Amino acid sequence: MAQGNHDLNCLSIDDLEKLAYTRMDKMTRDYYNEGADSGSTLLENIKAYEKYRIRPRVLRDVSVIDTSINVFGHKNAVPIGVAPTAMQRLAHSDGELATARACKNKDIAMGLSSFATTSLEDVAKECEGAIPNVLQLYLFEERAHSKKLIARAKKAGFKAVFLTVDTPYLGRRNAEIKNQFKLPGHLKISNFAEDDAEQNDGDNPRTDNLPISANQGTKLKTKNPSVAGRTEGTERVLPTGPITFHTHAANPTLSWEKDIEWLKQECCPEMEVWVKGIATAEDAILALHHQVRGIVVSNHGGRQLNGALATLDALPEVVDAIQGKIPVHVDGGIRHGTDVFKALALGADFVWVGRPALWGLAYKGQEGVELMLRLLSEEFRLCMALAGVTRVQEIAKEYLVKVDKSGFVSKL
Ligand SMILES: Cc1cc2nc3c(=O)[nH]c(=O)nc-3n(C[C@H](O)[C@H](O)[C@H](O)COP(=O)(O)O)c2cc1C
Ligand SMILES: CC(C)CC(=O)C(=O)O
């Protein structure tokens, strides 16, 4: 394995996190790093990987290793993608463009948030069809903007839409509330900039503890606005005014019957419809029933329901339910190449990383994201070699054991 050309300040994702820490202002750092409530699910996402150990096989000629895998019709260098995360220009002035350039250079799929600070057309242009772009969708209760966004994504050549399904309301993120987090005036939620041109007076801070649709811009004709999202026997009024993540991202009305079928029709045939935020076998079966093209096991990086199962712990029941009928991806807490190996051994087809890309951006823009991808890719390749595996498809349960709290080792 090549050992040359290291950034000696940054030899691991842990190093990268520390380096990024000093390069972000407090509001950005808290917004990026925080989990919901006490943050226990965020931590458990990371810790869950420590419950498994690898069973290495030897004397297998590992001189040639192929880490690549096909995803959305493209060859990805490793089974790792950059997860959609909102507002990347908070971390670096090039924001999503830097991420796109890094992904293109490294042959890595990229997920673009609906709430990006760069338009989907600009990101697509940057990649010129070299990597499969995925649009993460917050499907607005008010449909016109979402309809337009989907049409634009199709035109720009996006391969898939990941409908985020774990945000009927925004999770309670106390630092975000304390800091009165808002997008600075020089940045825009670019995918909706045109829609907002006439009325955009900027974002409003998240200052209260209410479910998100009770925040600014949402008027519900309910008796008590603090229970927004439920129309108490009276008319429901859609969000109005500028499109901000405080007003539009969460949608408490989303449902399998009403929305998945609608979305499939809108996207068909150009883009695949996936659901991001599945954490149970029951919902995995519903996803199959509604014929989505794939699922992402995710708890939104621990930013939504705190107390939910770590994604690695939720993965096996989802994999069992799906039985290979559609791809199962996973995200949350992946910080090492060995984590990628473990997730694949437990049945994931592919993993996505969120915060590490933001830390890379904050550290050195495009170069920092490339560094992050390089670290994870090299660690993954080395892990495969030392475990005695030469192709990604060979990674399976037999390479793992589970170790419980008292140190008892069990086969899977
Ligand atoms: C700052 C931040 C912003 C995010 N924005 C979005 C988003 O716009 N849409 C979405 O579906 N998920 C969003 N996510 C969740 C990620 O897509 C992903 O599920 C999560 O970051 C994975 O966990 P990890 O950060 O531990 O890798 C965001 C996560 C973070 C940390
Ligand atoms: C636009 C936001 C709701 C982004 C998001 O998903 C997050 O902050 O976790």
Q: Can you give the three-state secondary structure of 260-286, one letter per residue? A: HHHHHHHHCCCCEEEEEEECCHHHHHH
Q: Which ligand is nearest to the CA of 171?
A: 2
298 C-beta closer than 6 A to ligand 1:
yes
Query: Any binding-site annotation on 223?
Result: no
CB-based pocket (< 6 A), ligand 2: 86, 115, 170, 245, 249, 300, 303
Catalytic residues: 300
Per 3-state DSSP, the chain is made up of helix, strand and coil in percentages (nearest 5) of: 40, 15, 45
CA–CA gap between residue 134 and residue 269 (Å, rounded): 15
Q: Which atom of ligand 1 is nearest to the CA of 298?
A: 19
CA–CA gap between residue 126 and residue 128 (Å, rounded): 6
Query: Any binding-site annotation on 31?
Result: yes
Cα→Cα distances 229→67, 170, 207, Å: 45, 12, 18
In which residue ranges of the chain is pLDDT below 50?
198-201, 207-230, 232
pLDDT of residue 240: 73
Q: What's the pLDDT tens digit per position in 337-363?
A: 999 999 999 999 999 999 999 999 999
Cβ partners under 8 Å of residue 323, min gap 6: none
Q: Which atom of ligand 1 is nearest to the CA of 355?
A: 25
Helices 311-322/337-345 angle, 10° precision: 30
- Element (DSSP H or E) covering residue 342: helix 337-345
**Residue with CA closest to ligand 2 atom 9:** 303
pLDDT of residue 238: 77
Q: Which atom of ligand 2 is nearest to the CA of 164?
A: 6
Q: Which ligand is nearest to the CA of 332?
A: 1
What value of ipTM does the predicted structure carry?
A: 0.99
Q: Which atom of ligand 1 is nearest to the CA of 116?
A: 8
Q: Which pTM was predicted?
A: 0.93
**Residue with CA closest to ligand 1 atom 1:** 32
229 C-beta closer than 6 A to ligand 1:
no
**Residue with CA closest to ligand 2 atom 8:** 86
Query: Any binding-site annotation on 86?
Result: yes
CA–CA gap between residue 164 and residue 297 (Å, rounded): 11
Q: What's the pLDDT tens digit per position in 145-193?
A: 999 999 999 999 999 999 999 999 999 999 999 999 999 999 999 999 8
CA of 78 to the centre of ligand 1 (A): 20
CA–CA gap between residue 138 and residue 249 (Å, rounded): 6
Q: Between β-strands 400-403 and 409-411, what pairing exists: parallel, antiparallel or unpaired?
A: antiparallel
pLDDT of residue 221: 43
CA–CA gap between residue 382 and residue 386 (Å, rounded): 6
CA–CA gap between residue 273 and residue 293 (Å, rounded): 6
Query: Any binding-site annotation on 355?
Result: yes
Cα→Cα distances 320→11, 25, 346, Å: 36, 43, 10
**Residue with CA closest to ligand 1 atom 7:** 85
φ and ψ at residue 348, rounded to 5 degrees? -70, 145
pLDDT of residue 211: 45
pLDDT of residue 2: 55
Query: What end-to-end distance do the CA atoms of the chain give, in Å?
Result: 30
Q: How far is CA 321 from the centre of its chain?
A: 22
Please, which residues bridge with residue 410 across strands?
402
pLDDT of residue 142: 87
pLDDT of residue 3: 62
311 C-beta closer than 6 A to ligand 1:
no
The radius of gyration of the chain from alpha carbons, rounded to an integer in Å, stands at: 21
**Residue with CA closest to ligand 2 atom 1:** 245
pLDDT of residue 224: 34
Which CATH entry fits the domain spanning 13-171+250-411: 2.170.130.10, 3.20.20.70, 3.40.1740.10, 3.20.20.80? 3.20.20.70
Query: Any binding-site annotation on 21?
Result: no
Cβ partners under 8 Å of residue 393, min gap 6: none
pLDDT of residue 233: 58
